[in-house]
Amino acid sequence: MIFKKILLLFLLFLSIICCGQKSDSILSRKSLFLIPNASYQQETSVAIGLALGYYFKSYQIKRISSISGSATYTFLNQFIFNITPKLFFGDKKWYLYTNLNYRNYPDYYYGISTNSTNLEQAYTAKIFSLNIQPQYAVAKNIYLGCLLNVRLENILVDSTFNINKPKIESYGFAGWQAYKQTNFGAVVSYDSRDNQFYPTKGFFAKTILSASISGWFSNYTAQGITLDIRQYFPVYKSHILAWQALFSGVFSKSEIPFQLLPTLGGRDLMRGFRQGMYRENGLFVLQTEYRLPIYKRLKGAVFCSAGDLFNQNACSSNKFKIAYGAGLRYRLNDARVHLRFDLAKNNYGDKLQIYITATEAF
């Protein structure tokens, strides 16, 4: 069955690749595509839909404004709508990142823990989220800005919920009733990458400090911090060594919804682990990837990552988490947007994971 799904995806990708054969210089003119979109990962199974990409005319490949979006339906009956404008304006002094997302998303809850549990509770989340981050260049490559993040969520459960309720309550009960959460914060970033979609050199660092206060358009009080550091080294010709260090934490003196807690796994962060299997207050991850040319627009990559989660009171992991794998890349346009196919494993003995998507993990 899995091979039939992969075959279906490659047939869909064939049409995408055919659309991308023509070189459309992003440096000299605008670029627009609306194409069939297909992906695969354990959390969604096969996903099909439409993807939109609009890349503004620019003579700087380092600072390309874009609007990307997608509407996706998965074989697990999940629906996801996403649109992400990334706009430079004011002679590249201003940068506005925005993300609008709606999803009707059947999933599983495995408890709040950095270790495996025997809990697997099915639920369906209906989520609306809006993230706005305006930033201003105060010096070369240095941006300061603010953050507004709004999340509205409601959970639907089946008859097994009452059976599992005692164990669910042992982790806390926040998040199982409809809630709203509004975060305000500050953003500081440094970005010397030569391109934001597929960098070949440069350094990127971003810090986000945020807070929500119960009663201020929020049901819960919490504080969040994220530190994301990335660097890209040209090794030989088009060979690139990339690494990322990520720390993320959400902390509170009281319960907060489990959906807001950091989790690893999925297509971008520690590929090879199932996203949502492990959740806790804090997360730290180190990822490395070696990217190399194969033939014309086709590239390859090998990667490895290590990290774990921790509770705000103590680190209680029984086994440090490691994931590794390899994949292929296909460049769609001169903005360096790539299709990505990855195979990944982890040191917990889980089965081989397959990821087929667009854009790089980091």
pLDDT at 134: 97
Spatial contact of 326 and 297, defined as CB atoms under 8 Å apart: no
DSSP 288-305: EEEEEEEETTEEEEEEEE
Give the fold, CATH level 3, of 2-358.
Porin (2.40.160)
pLDDT at 81: 96
User: Is residue 11 within a helix (H) or strand (E), and if so which, with residue range?
Assistant: helix 2-19
Residues of the chain predicted below pLDDT 50: 15, 18, 20-24, 27-28
Per-residue pLDDT reduced to its tens digit, 25-72: 554 456 777 777 777 888 888 888 888 888 887 777 778 888 999 999
164 three-class SS? helix
Per-residue pLDDT reduced to its tens digit, 309-342: 998 776 666 789 999 999 999 988 777 888 899 9
C-alpha Rg value of the chain to the nearest Å: 20
As a whole number of angstroms, the distance between CA 273 and CA 276 comes to 9
Residues with Cβ within 8 Å of 145's Cβ and at least 6 positions away in sequence, in order, are: 95, 133, 134, 135, 136, 186, 187, 188, 189
**Burial track 218-252 (b if 16+ CB lie within 10 A, e otherwise):** bbbbbbbbbebbbbbeeeeeeebebbbbbbbbbeb
pLDDT at 22: 47
pTM value is: 0.86
pLDDT at 44: 87
Residue with tokens 């595509």, as numbered in its chain: 33
Closest CA to 287 of 321, 332, 336: 321
Domain ranges of the chain: 2-358
